[in-house]
Structure 1
Amino acid sequence: MAVSGAWRQMALGGVALCLLMMAVALGLEHIGGLEPCPLCVFQRIGVIATGVVLAVAAGHHPAGRSGRGLYALLALVAVAGGGFVAGRHVWLQSLPADQVPSCGPGLDYMLEVLPMQEVIATVLSGSGECANIAASFAGLSLPAWTLIGFIGLACFPLAMLWQAYRQTS
């Protein structure tokens, strides 16, 4: 029983980190006045998806190794997706000014007129607005901090996966 309690605590710890990351993002948006760019929105989707998977995992609390492993893998996929977008954002911000892509249409407009596959491809290719560093803390841009958050968040499903495959039943 000790293994299952620790597994649930790891899932809830990951949910707590997701809530913290979203609270910071929403605070910066609504209190700090920073408008999220399309890549920021996709990073938020990664945080939310990870939080949902971990919350369901903690609530469902599967008894078997394969069920626990599946939840941990799903959470890890969500973390990896968000981390990829954050890494892409950091890379885009590090480009020299002459290599930054031009600004494109807004995300709302793209969602109205383009198929979802094109919206995703366009957002991931980046635009000039995503290359702007609107704010930084301790010398790192907000996407860099988000990338650090995703790296920390990955520890939870990795530990859950490790524990799921260590259990005897």
Structure 2
Amino acid sequence: MSLSSLCGRLCGRISDRTACLILGIGAFALVVVGIVLGEALRLNPCPLCIFQRVLYLAIGVGALLAAAGRPLRPWGLLIALMAALGGIAAAGYQGWLQWMADPALECGFGPPNLIEQSVEWLGERWPRLFLATGFCSSKEWELLGLSMAHWSLLVYVAYGAALVAVARRSLHQP
């Protein structure tokens, strides 16, 4: 059984609106947990960590738009799904950087890319939420042998599967 069909079966018991509300609130809750965990353990988030935080916020906004109703649902699901796919890419890349541990591949070396520039801009405006102070390849926190980037990758995959399941069901309803 695929992850998408499993999510479809779980989401099949609740309405699209409720599923989108749960996904949206869950995404915002993940941001709060990340901030609290970072403060409590004195973790230094890197530019990719902050970018993933932005993507969780985009998932939350998209899912809440989708929960608002029919005219906004396809757009909200599209925003949330694109953010989840971006999160899979960002978390996967960060996990790979942590696995490789090659300083030449580290974010922050060389001229800043678009993600680093965006994160820096956000960090200047809202430092408590978006200030990046760490290195992308460091594994400051692990649970069951997986870094935060690896856990985030798993969460993004689950979000992607759930969003696809809701979108499939929503498209087949009149």
Give 1:50's aligned residue: 59
In the alignment, what sits opposite 1:166? 172
Name which one, 1 or 2, has greater alpha-carbon Rg: 1
**1:23, distance to aligned residue in structure 2 (A):** 2.2
Secondary structure of 2:135's aligned partner: helix
Residue identity opposite 1:72 in structure 2: L
Q: Distance in 2 between matches of 1:132 and 1:166?
A: 44
SS of 1:129's equivalent?
coil
Matched to 2:33, the amino acid is V
Looking at secondary structure, tell me which structure has more helix per residue: 1
In structure 2, C-alpha distance between the alignment counterparts of 1:103 and 1:120, rounded to whole Å? 11
* Within-5 A mapping of 1:20-39: 20-39=29-48
Gaps (5+ residues) in structure 1?
A: none
Match of 2:3 in 1: none
Percent identity among equivalent residues? 27
Q: What runs of 5+ residues in structure 2 fail to find an aligned partner?
A: 1-11, 119-133
Output one character per residue of 1:28-74: Cα deviation in whole Å (capped at 9) or x when no partner: 1122211211010000011000101111221x211x6xx53332222
> Is 1:119–2:114 an aligned residue pair?
yes
8 Å CA contact 1:50, 1:78 repeated in 2? yes
Contact 1:21 1:47 in 2 (8 A): yes
What's the C-alpha RMSD, in Å, of the aligned pairs?
2.8
1:80 aligned partner: 85
Residue of structure 2 aligned with 1:14, choices 23, 30, 35: 23
